[in-house]
């Protein structure tokens, strides 16, 4: 794609860059799209146009949330220690810790047979995001935007809220326009997190426009360089001119999206926006409500892939107390997000993905212990909207929930499935780097779990 | 440039849908071979059936394609497509011949071999056997061949070259029937030299002086270059480049669990690097000090301290959390192996932690030979923010000659850890050192060094046999006593000697290529940290060897190599060239012209400070976190505004200096010598709205208003200051109009002129260097 534009520039005999000329004439539509971000038609029929990944870091305890394991037989064994009930018409089992999510049981597609390669947090977290547990590789959101572009040229295609290290949202060897734009980093106060330098209240937009016009005239003179060719062939200069325009336009659109002032009090309360509590054990309050509400606003505005984060679900010592705190912190915002997307008719084309880097082994009820560890051989994800079956449970674990026994889904299968739902053949979505074609599903490739498609 | 290269190699696979089936199958076969068959052959069979075997079993070689097809004494080992008729399968099933002799393979592995043979026995290896005694599967990799000092070639235009370097470049251009671009003019050249050598723009007076002298007298060039090379600013500019290679950071970075302990003493390593580069410590010595400085003899306590601080190189790495991570110690070693192998040798060893490297000649044994060296070394990173779950605390080196700098009076740490169960402040153990004691991160040998056990699949729970401490088996250097590791030492000193041996084909080539890259924007090898099979091949192999030879011959002096290159004709070329050259060599792989370069994050900030008149060149600031052993994620914003050079900002991992973050800073988690050059909207937002940029614009406006009285002369002054040139007539008019319209829109005089000055500072002409 860059090729054709370069050829165009090189063959321009008038000695004038068309794109730069457009910059001067102020034709914003043509300008504001760094190429590669333009929305592309997916090669497969897409069931979902956009995705929100509700990333639950630390290893959520699946046996006390979605994978119900009652006691069987006469001998006590590990299983669920919180109460479960059937919900909705489908009767999906959901724990008492998630009453708001449970109201949407008929929209959830619960995958109970997830499994991963390692119980090391950092490695598994990286693998969940990139398919690789050791090396920096493009993140899922970057692959999606690489494959599909994005709908709103005034905003990045991939936004990651309350994110952690850059390897989690990096485009790695994919061009950096596919990189995630971070808003807030773990531990930062998410109530105030924003896109750096996105607004400037000192000067009016008119004054800034006049300034940018002056700059773009200088830039164009620099590009033309008395008729010499080399600079006009340098796409970076042209790209710099165009991204100045996109940045300028982001000032107009992004602050409004980040400002929740226009939302009703009722909405803010449903999402629990701004609800702040002291950390309880491993549970860090991260204004998850604001994250979820922003996620809704971003996908409404045409952002392709949004990730929100909450942690840590890594309850080693005070399992019951900390798990409850994590559920309390996330349940209502997730419920509100499901509700709003459904109400607004967006859920059909928006894929929600909930889960973490692995799960936890079950506790044995009433044996006095309140501790748990890591479990990568069985855990739970759920999907909703975006062309998946609602009120459906896929896969099964054994009687104690320790091992996935049916409908096993590895991260690479999950990645393949998500991409497929978005119209991208995961095993064929490749990028040539360091001498070979890379894909998120790695050398093994991923299996698309078609059984969960609606 | 990055995007351009990427766009060239971009493979939009959808377009190839028609041929996907066949390709996909070939890919699957290759993947199956690489993931299942090659590792099996290497692990189970090569000991007796490869070039490495002491005695070849049954005259059968399984380490190349023909060997396996032709077989040994008993005939062909496999018949492609016919697993039941294949001798190999019979032997694995202990049906007649029993292989491997000790114990049969697990059923799953045998099944893989059966599947492989049934589906055609795809084998990407060569037909020709690797020479006996050679590394498994070694392709003749160019970078492992000895460096050859080739005489510079004949050229048709002998008047053009100013240095042998130019003959190598011109010969290639002439062979392609191309002519190099014209020389750049003096104004372009001085700006280029200032940015390349010291990372600052020249003042307008300096530009004028050079523009007057150089056309009359070419020796003016050397008179310009030498003081720049001698300037402390050179150490800052080129030191920063090494700090990228050293993945230098002042905190651990997110440990995977959101915790990010500070490294309050890391800045001493930064200052060591800046000083060593400014003093032009020979590169072999420079490398040796950083790997084994604590083991080197010293004459003065200052020298001892300096060498100890140098070993911070291997202690400032980013570590994953210790909590629940049995592999923690080996993760630390993995980072050290990676920074040494890619950072200095330009070859990746990391994959060999889990399996023999599939393409580069690096078997798992090599990895664990190196691992033994670092596992026999104690890494001193300090207290890890008093959070043992992130990393256990370690000792630190106490410096004897650095001044004691206690925290300022009344200093109270505010970022205090809370007990996760009670929510109460954790009790922090009393420090081992008096407050203000000069401390350094670094290395020291363990009391009892030991070889490392090979870990199958990279898991320490699956140990194999111990591998003697040593180096990579390729390249093979002439045997030397000084390379063998004594039982009572870690082997770091021997590793450094091996790497900096003049016979080593990689070290000097990698260093010379990087110098070239920093001066031309691209290296002769465009993957400066990967000289392996996956890396780029050199565009000018003889030139690279010529540079490497000169580097070593001139005492491993980086400055001399820089000087040689910037005085060459090739360095002086203009970016402008005739369409034929642009068309024929769009990527400029022949270096026939100059490629435009964007100021990097540090140069952009420093240039803005220089132009605003406020750059503070003092270098003795230590670090803003020097008294703070805390978790960055629990602290308020730790960055403080300063007018000092960017290299002295606080490079916290996962929390980079906000004044630099928009412009492609690396993550500082892994080694890199070549930064991305992305063009993304976050940069535009920074230029338009960041308070730092606006502040420099206001300062520049104040200067402009104070120094000149008429509007015309003020516009002229602003252009001279920012761009080093007079405004064109139309530009002057545009500038005046911007100021007038801003005043009409009720901006103050200062605001209106600041708006103009900012416009100049964020223009492409300011941000890109020809």
Give the tens place of pLDDT for each residue, A88-130: 999 999 999 999 999 999 999 999 999 999 888 888 999 999 9
**B-interface mutation test, from A207, A315, A320, A438, most B Cβ less than 10 A away:** A207
Residue B225, pLDDT above cutoff 90: yes
When pLDDT is cut at 50, 70 and 90, the band that residue B629 belongs to is very high
**A-interface mutation test, from B8, B660, B665, B679, most A Cβ less than 10 A away:** B679
Give the tens place of pLDDT for each residue, B675-715: 877 777 788 999 999 999 999 999 999 999 999 999 999 99
Max avg pLDDT among A173-177, A226-230, A286-290: A286-290
> Residues B225-240: what's their mean pLDDT?
98
Max avg pLDDT among A379-383, B23-27, B500-504: A379-383
Q: Is A195 on the interface with B (CB under 8 A)?
A: yes
User: What pLDDT, on a 0 to 100 scale, did the predictor assign at position B61?
Assistant: 83
B751 and A203 within 8 Å at the Cβ level: the answer is yes
Contact A419, A144 (CB under 8 A): yes
Residue A34, pLDDT above cutoff 60: no
Per CB-CB distance under 8 Å, the chain A contacts of B257 are 58, 121-122, 312, 314
Of B534, B667, B730, the CB nearest to A434: B534
**B-interface mutation test, from A222, A244, A356, most B Cβ less than 10 A away:** A244
A166 and B658 within 8 Å at the Cβ level: the answer is no
Per CB-CB distance under 8 Å, the chain A contacts of B31 are 443-445
Per CB-CB distance under 8 Å, the chain B contacts of A231 are 575, 596
- Nearest Cα residue to B171 out of B563, B594, B588, B591: B591
Q: Is A164 on the interface with B (CB under 8 A)?
A: yes
Contact B681, B622 (CB under 8 A): no
User: What pLDDT, on a 0 to 100 scale, did the predictor assign at position A99?
Assistant: 98
Q: Is A199 on the interface with B (CB under 8 A)?
A: yes
Q: In chain A, which among 84-123 make CB contacts under 8 A with chain B?
A: 119-123
| CA-based nearest distance A84→chain B, Å | 27
Of B260, B583, B685, the CB nearest to A247: B685
> Residues A262-283: what's their mean pLDDT?
88
Q: ∠ CA(A48), CA(B679), CA(B533), 5° rounding?
A: 85
Measured between CA atoms, the residue of chain A closest to residue B254 is A165
Give the tens place of pLDDT for each residue, B32-77: 776 678 877 877 787 778 776 667 777 788 888 778 888 877 778 8
Going by C-beta distance under 8 Å and a sequence separation of 6 or more, which residues neighbour residue A58?
A121, A282, A311, A312, A313, A314, A315, A356, A357, B257
A430 and B11 within 8 Å at the Cβ level: the answer is yes
Instruction: Supply the mean pLDDT for chain A.
Output: 87
Alpha carbon distance B697, B432 (integer Å): 47
Alpha carbon distance B654, A166 (integer Å): 7
Per CB-CB distance under 8 Å, the chain B contacts of A223 are 764
* Chain mean position to CA A28: 28
pTM for the model stands at: 0.76
Contact B767, A240 (CB under 8 A): yes
Contact B276, B232 (CB under 8 A): no
When pLDDT is cut at 50, 70 and 90, the band that residue A27 belongs to is very low
User: What pLDDT, on a 0 to 100 scale, did the predictor assign at position B19?
Assistant: 34
Cβ pairs bridging A and B (under 8 Å): 271
Q: Is B726 on the interface with A (CB under 8 A)?
A: no
Q: Map B454-468 to HEC letters.
A: EEHHHCCCCEEEEEC
Per CB-CB distance under 8 Å, the chain B contacts of A282 are 420
Q: In chain A, which among 131-150 make CB contacts under 8 A with chain B?
A: 134-136
Higher pLDDT, A215 or A137: A215
DSSP string covering A48-80, please?
-SEEEEEEETT---GGGTTS-----SSS--SB-
Per CB-CB distance under 8 Å, the chain A contacts of B534 are 434-436
Alpha carbon distance A133, A153 (integer Å): 32
Alpha carbon distance B345, B352 (integer Å): 16
Per CB-CB distance under 8 Å, the chain A contacts of B420 are 279, 281-282, 317
Helices marked H in B345-376 — which ranges? 364-375
Residue B81, pLDDT above cutoff 60: yes
Contact A181, B682 (CB under 8 A): yes
Q: Is B670 on the interface with A (CB under 8 A)?
A: yes
Higher pLDDT, B254 or B491: B491
Give the tens place of pLDDT for each residue, B258-314: 789 999 999 999 999 999 999 999 999 999 999 999 999 999 999 999 999 999 999
User: What pLDDT, on a 0 to 100 scale, did the predictor assign at position B41?
Assistant: 83
User: What pLDDT, on a 0 to 100 scale, did the predictor assign at position B15?
Assistant: 34
Cis bond before residue A390 (omega within 30° of 0): no
Of B583, B667, B742, the CB nearest to A210: B742
Measured between CA atoms, the residue of chain B closest to residue A228 is B576
Give the tens place of pLDDT for each residue, A54-88: 999 999 999 999 999 999 988 999 999 999 999 99
Q: In chain B, which among 683-722 make CB contacts under 8 A with chain A?
A: 683-690, 694
Give the tens place of pLDDT for each residue, B309-340: 999 999 999 998 898 788 899 999 999 999 99
Rg of chain A (C-alpha set): 24
Give the tens place of pLDDT for each residue, A296-322: 999 999 999 999 999 889 998 899 999
A435 and B257 within 8 Å at the Cβ level: the answer is no
User: What pLDDT, on a 0 to 100 scale, did the predictor assign at position B248?
Assistant: 98
When pLDDT is cut at 50, 70 and 90, the band that residue A5 belongs to is very low
A434 and B530 within 8 Å at the Cβ level: the answer is yes
User: What pLDDT, on a 0 to 100 scale, did the predictor assign at position B28?
Assistant: 67
Q: Picking from A333-337, B359-363, B666-670, which range would have the lowest pLDDT averaged per residue?
A: B359-363
User: What pLDDT, on a 0 to 100 scale, did the predictor assign at position B23?
Assistant: 44
Per CB-CB distance under 8 Å, the chain A contacts of B583 are 10
Give the tens place of pLDDT for each residue, A121-176: 888 999 999 999 877 789 999 999 999 999 988 888 999 999 877 778 888 878 76
Beta strands in A216-372 (DSSP E): 305-310, 350-355
> Residues B100-113: what's their mean pLDDT?
77
* Chain mean position to CA A449: 20
Q: ∠ CA(B395), CA(A164), CA(A152), 5° rounding?
A: 155
Note the residue count of chain B: 770
Give the tens place of pLDDT for each residue, A378-393: 999 999 999 999 999 9
User: What pLDDT, on a 0 to 100 scale, did the predictor assign at position A13?
Assistant: 26
**B-interface mutation test, from A166, A309, A311, most B Cβ less than 10 A away:** A166
**A-interface mutation test, from B457, B531, B684, most A Cβ less than 10 A away:** B684
Q: Is A27 on the interface with B (CB under 8 A)?
A: no
Coil, helix or strand at residue B83: coil
Q: In chain B, which among 350-389 make CB contacts under 8 A with chain A?
A: 350
User: What pLDDT, on a 0 to 100 scale, did the predictor assign at position A176?
Assistant: 67
Q: Is A231 on the interface with B (CB under 8 A)?
A: yes
> Residues A23-28: what's their mean pLDDT?
36
Q: Picking from A3-17, B123-137, B708-722, which range would have the lowest pLDDT averaged per residue?
A: A3-17
Residues of chain B with pLDDT > 90, as a percent, come to 65
Of A203, A230, A246, the CB nearest to B576: A230
User: What pLDDT, on a 0 to 100 scale, did the predictor assign at position B198?
Assistant: 98
> Residues A253-259: what's their mean pLDDT?
93
User: What pLDDT, on a 0 to 100 scale, did the predictor assign at position A19?
Assistant: 39
A34 and B679 within 8 Å at the Cβ level: the answer is yes
When pLDDT is cut at 50, 70 and 90, the band that residue A188 belongs to is low
Residue B132, pLDDT above cutoff 70: no
Instruction: Supply the mean pLDDT for chain B.
Output: 89
Q: Is B744 on the interface with A (CB under 8 A)?
A: no
Q: Map A81-143 to HEC letters.
A: CCCEEEECCCCEEEECCCHHHHCCHHHEEEEEEEECCCCCHHHHHHHHHHCCCCCCCCCHHHH
Per CB-CB distance under 8 Å, the chain A contacts of B7 are 1-3, 175
When pLDDT is cut at 50, 70 and 90, the band that residue B508 belongs to is very high
Per CB-CB distance under 8 Å, the chain A contacts of B14 are 43, 428
The one-character DSSP state at A450 is G
When pLDDT is cut at 50, 70 and 90, the band that residue A336 belongs to is very high
Q: Is A285 on the interface with B (CB under 8 A)?
A: no
Of A123, A186, A217, the CB nearest to B633: A186
Residue B239, pLDDT above cutoff 80: yes
| CA-based nearest distance A319→chain B, Å | 11
Q: In chain A, which among 44-63 make CB contacts under 8 A with chain B?
A: 57-58
Q: Is B735 on the interface with A (CB under 8 A)?
A: yes
Alpha carbon distance A389, A417 (integer Å): 13
- CA dihedral (B745, B750, B755, B758) in degrees, to 10, reads 180
What pairs with residue A406 in β-bridges? A396
Alpha carbon distance A357, B694 (integer Å): 43
B679 and A240 within 8 Å at the Cβ level: the answer is yes
Q: Is the dihedral of CA A188, A192, A194, A197 positive or negative?
A: negative
| CA-based nearest distance A427→chain B, Å | 9
Contact B369, B467 (CB under 8 A): yes
Of A134, A204, A229, the CB nearest to B579: A229
User: What pLDDT, on a 0 to 100 scale, did the predictor assign at position A178?
Assistant: 83
When pLDDT is cut at 50, 70 and 90, the band that residue A243 belongs to is confident
- Nearest Cα residue to B397 out of B314, B458, B287: B314
A121 and B253 within 8 Å at the Cβ level: the answer is no
Q: In chain B, which among 508-547 make CB contacts under 8 A with chain A?
A: 527, 530, 533-535
């Amino acid at each position: 794609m860059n090729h054709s534009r370069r050829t165009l520039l090189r063959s321009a005999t008038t000695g004038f860059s068309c794109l730069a000329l457009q910059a001067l004439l102020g034709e914003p539509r043509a300008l504001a799209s760094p190429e590669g971000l333009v929305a592309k038609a997916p090669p497969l029929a897409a069931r979902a146009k956009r995705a929100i990944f509700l990333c639950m870091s630390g290893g959520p305890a699946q046996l006390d949330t979605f994978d119900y394991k009652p006691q069987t037989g006469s001998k006590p064994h590990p299983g669920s220690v919180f109460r479960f009930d059937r919900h909705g018409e489908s009767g999906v089992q959901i724990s008492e810790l998630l009453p708001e999510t449970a109201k949407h049981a008929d929209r959830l597609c619960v995958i109970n047979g997830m499994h991963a390669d390692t119980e090391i947090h950092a490695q598994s977290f990286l693998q969940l995001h990139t398919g690789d547990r050791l090396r920096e590789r493009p993140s899922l959101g970057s692959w999606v935007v690489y494959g599909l572009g994005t709908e709103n040229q005034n905003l990045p295609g991939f936004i990651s809220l309350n994110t952690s290290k850059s390897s989690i949202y990096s485009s790695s060897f994919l061009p950096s326009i596919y990189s995630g734009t971070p808003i807030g980093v773990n531990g930062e106060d998410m109530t105030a997190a924003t896109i750096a330098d996105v607004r400037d209240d000192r000067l009016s937009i008119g004054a800034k426009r006049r300034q940018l016009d002056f700059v773009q005239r200088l830039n164009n003179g620099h590009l033309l360089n008395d008729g010499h060719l080399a600079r006009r062939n340098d796409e970076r200069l042209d790209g710099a001119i165009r991204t100045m325009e996109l940045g300028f336009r982001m000032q107009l659109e992004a602050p409004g999206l980040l400002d929740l002032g226009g939302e009703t009090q009722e909405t803010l309360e449903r999402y629990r926006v701004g609800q702040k509590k002291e950390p309880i054990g491993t549970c860090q309050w991260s204004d998850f409500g604001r994250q979820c509400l922003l996620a809704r606003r971003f996908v409404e505005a045409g952002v392709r892939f949004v990730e929100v984060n909450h942690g840590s679900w890594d309850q080693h010592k005070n399992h019951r107390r900390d798990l409850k705190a994590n559920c309390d912190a996330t349940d209502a915002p997730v419920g509100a997000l499901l509700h709003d997307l459904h109400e607004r008719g967006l859920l059909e084309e928006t894929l929600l993905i909930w889960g973490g880097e692995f799960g936890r082994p079950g506790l044995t009820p009433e044996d006095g212990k309140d501790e748990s560890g890591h479990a990568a051989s069985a855990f739970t994800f759920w999907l909703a909207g975006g062309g998946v079956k609602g009120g459906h449970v896929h896969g099964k674990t054994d009687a104690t929930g320790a091992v996935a026994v049916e409908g096993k889904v590895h991260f690479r299968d999950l990645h393949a499935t998500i991409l497929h739902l978005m119209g991208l053949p995961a095993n064929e979505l490749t990028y040539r780097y360091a001498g070979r074609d890379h894909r998120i599903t790695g050398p093994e490739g991923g299996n698309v779990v078609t059984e969960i498609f609606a | 440039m990055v995007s351009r290269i990427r766009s060239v190699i971009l493979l939009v696979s959808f377009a190839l849908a028609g041929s996907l089936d066949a390709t996909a199958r070939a890919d699957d076969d290759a993947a199956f071979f690489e993931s299942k068959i090659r590792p099996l052959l290497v692990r189970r069979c090569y000991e007796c059936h490869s070039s490495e075997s002491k005695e070849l079993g049954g005259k059968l070689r399984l380490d190349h394609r023909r060997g396996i097809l032709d077989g040994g004494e008993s005939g062909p080992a496999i018949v492609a497509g016919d697993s039941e008729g294949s001798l190999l399968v019979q032997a694995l099933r202990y049906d007649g011949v029993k292989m491997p002799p000790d114990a049969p393979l697990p059923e799953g592995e045998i099944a893989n071999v059966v599947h492989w043979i049934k589906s055609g026995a795809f084998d990407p290896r060569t037909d020709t056997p690797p020479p006996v005694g050679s590394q498994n599967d070694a392709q003749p990799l160019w970078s492992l061949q000895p460096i050859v000092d080739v005489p510079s070639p004949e050229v048709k235009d002998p008047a053009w070259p100013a240095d042998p370097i130019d003959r190598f470049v011109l010969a290639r251009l002439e062979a392609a029937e191309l002519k190099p671009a014209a020389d750049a003019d003096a104004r372009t050249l001085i700006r280029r030299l200032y940015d390349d050598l010291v990372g600052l723009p020249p003042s307008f007076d300096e530009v004028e002086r050079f523009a007057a002298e150089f056309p009359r007298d070419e020796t003016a060039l050397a008179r310009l270059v030498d003081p720049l090379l001698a300037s402390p600013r050179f150490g800052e500019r080129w030191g920063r480049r090494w700090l990228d290679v050293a993945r230098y950071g002042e905190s651990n970075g997110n440990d995977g669990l959101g915790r990010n302990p500070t490294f309050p003493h890391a800045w001493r390593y930064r200052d060591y690097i800046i000083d060593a580069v400014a003093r032009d410590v020979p590169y072999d010595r420079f490398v040796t000090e950083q790997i084994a400085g604590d083991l080197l003899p010293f004459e003065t306590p200052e020298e001892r301290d300096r060498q100890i601080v140098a070993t911070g190189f291997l202690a400032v790495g980013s570590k994953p959390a210790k909590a629940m991570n049995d592999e923690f110690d080996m993760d630390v070693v993995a980072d050290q192996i990676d920074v040494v192998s890619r950072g200095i040798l330009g070859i990746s060893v990391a994959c060999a932690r889990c399996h023999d490297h599939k393409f580069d000649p690096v078997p798992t044994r090599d990895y664990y030979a190196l691992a033994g060296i670092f596992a026999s070394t104690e890494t001193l990173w300090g207290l890890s923010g008093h959070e043992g779950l992130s990393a256990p605390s370690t000792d630190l080196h106490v410096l004897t000659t650095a001044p004691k700098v206690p925290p300022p009076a009344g200093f109270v740490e505010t970022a205090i850890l809370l007990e996760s169960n009670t929510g109460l402040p954790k009790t922090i153990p009393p420090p081992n050192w008096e407050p203000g004691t000069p401390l350094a991160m670094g290395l020291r040998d363990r009391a009892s060094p030991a070889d490392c056990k090979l870990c199958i699949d990279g898991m320490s729970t699956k140990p194999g046999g111990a591998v003697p401490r040593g180096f990579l088996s390729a390249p093979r250097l002439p045997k030397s006593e000084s390379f063998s590791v004594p039982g009572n030492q870690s082997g770091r000193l021997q590793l450094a000697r091996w790497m900096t041996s003049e016979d080593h084909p990689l070290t000097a080539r990698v260093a010379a290529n990087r110098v070239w890259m920093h001066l031309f924007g691209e290296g002769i090898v465009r993957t400066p940290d990967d000289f392996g099979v996956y890396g780029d091949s050199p565009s000018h192999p003889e030139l690279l060897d010529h540079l490497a030879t000169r580097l070593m011959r001139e005492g491993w002096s980086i400055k001399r190599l820089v000087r040689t290159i910037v005085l060459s004709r090739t360095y002086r070329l203009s970016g402008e060239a005739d369409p034929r050259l642009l068309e024929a060599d769009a990527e400029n792989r022949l270096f026939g012209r100059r490629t435009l370069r964007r100021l990097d994050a540090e140069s952009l900030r420093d240039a803005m400070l220089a132009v605003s008149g406020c750059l503070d060149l003092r270098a003795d600031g230590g670090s803003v976190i020097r008294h703070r052993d805390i978790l960055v994620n629990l602290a308020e914003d730790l960055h403080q505004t300063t007018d000092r050079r960017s290299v002295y900002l606080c490079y916290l991992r996962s929390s980079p200096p906000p004044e630099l973050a928009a412009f492609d800073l690396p993550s500082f988690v892994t080694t890199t010598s070549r930064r991305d050059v992305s063009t993304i909207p976050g940069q535009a937002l920074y230029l338009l709205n960041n308070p730092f940029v606006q502040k420099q614009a206001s300062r520049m406006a104040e200067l402009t208003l104070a120094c000149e009285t008429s509007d015309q002369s003020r516009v002229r002054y602003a252009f001279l200051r920012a761009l080093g040139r007079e405004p064109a007539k139309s530009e002057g008019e545009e500038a005046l109009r911007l100021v007038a319209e801003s005043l009409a829109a009720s901006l103050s005089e200062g605001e209106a002129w600041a708006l103009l000055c900012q416009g100049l500072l964020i223009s492409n002409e300011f941000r890109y260097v020809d």
